[in-house]
Amino acid sequence: MAHPLELRACALHALLETDPASKTAGVAALAAACRAGYWTVDSKTELVAPEGIPGRPARPELVPPRLVGRRSMATVEGRAMLVHALAHIEFNAINLALDALWRFPGMPQDYYLDWLRVASEESLHFDMLCGHLATLGFRYGDFPGHDSLWEMVEKTTGDVLARMALVPRTLEARGLDAIPPLRAKLAQAGDLEAAAILDVLLRDEVGHVEIGNRWYLHLCGLRGLEPVSTYAELTVRYKAPVLKGPFNLDARRQAGFSEAELARLA
């Protein structure tokens, strides 16, 4: 490498990659370059969104959420469907982290490093889930998936405040609530390897949601906005899904939600 890697441009390049293995390898290489200090960030330039965002493979077929299929833990295929669904969420999470990294100029340097960390960890999650899926006799793309997570990414391309409010601290935060019961089902079915992977996912997702919370509060402070009422207004404006319990309040506290916000959930 003759020149330091520019984070936002490299993130956009990785986002456009359609092959999952190449995407995760590219993210890993970018993260390694950053750890080595071989990077720079141009936080001022307004990059133009090209065609092909996000880059993803021809499979899985994208269908409405109700058509993804039920997942019985009593069969290997049912467990594989659940692992596949989680892998699909993680693949979309790689893309949303890369999009948050490249799309929004004018943020502090730590913002871009935070979202590179998220992309790197989501890549590891995806690889872990795909590896386990292979032990069950399947691969990513063998089952359909839905696009709900990316739909909110597209809705919030014009405002980083809305992005932080409605993707990491709304849609990704739902994972904090959903992972423990899914982990229990997999463990009860005897798939302890998958259960251990979900332990890693939950640990890391707390940090990812905390990043969203931290930058949301930072942006509210810059704009002179009250965080709780602003969040409520954004959920209506962007037609965010209504959150339903039960909620993992302990994980949400660790991720930076205030007691006022947790009280509103209750």
Domain positions in the chain are 5-265
**Complete DSSP assignment for 111-142:** HHHHHHHHHHHHHHHHHHHHHHHHHTT--TTS
Q: Would you say 204 and 89 are in contact if contact means Cβ atoms under 8 Å apart?
A: no
Q: What is the pLDDT of residue 3?
A: 77
Report which residue type is found at 231: Y
Instruction: Please list the ranges in the chain whose pLDDT falls under 50.
Output: none
CA distance 119 to 28: 9
CA distance 9 to 101: 9
C-alpha distances in Å from residue 165, one per residue of 13, 88, 116, 229? 25, 22, 18, 12
* Tokens, residue 192: 């302890």
Q: What is the pLDDT of residue 70?
A: 72
Q: What is the pLDDT of residue 65?
A: 78
- Torsion angle, alpha carbons of 141, 144, 150, 151, to 10: 150
pTM of the model: 0.95
CA distance 59 to 46: 32
Q: Note the CATH number of domain 5-265.
A: 1.20.1260
Report which residue type is found at 54: P
Can you name the residues that pair with 5 across neighbouring β-strands?
39
Report which residue type is found at 140: Y
CA distance 113 to 100: 11
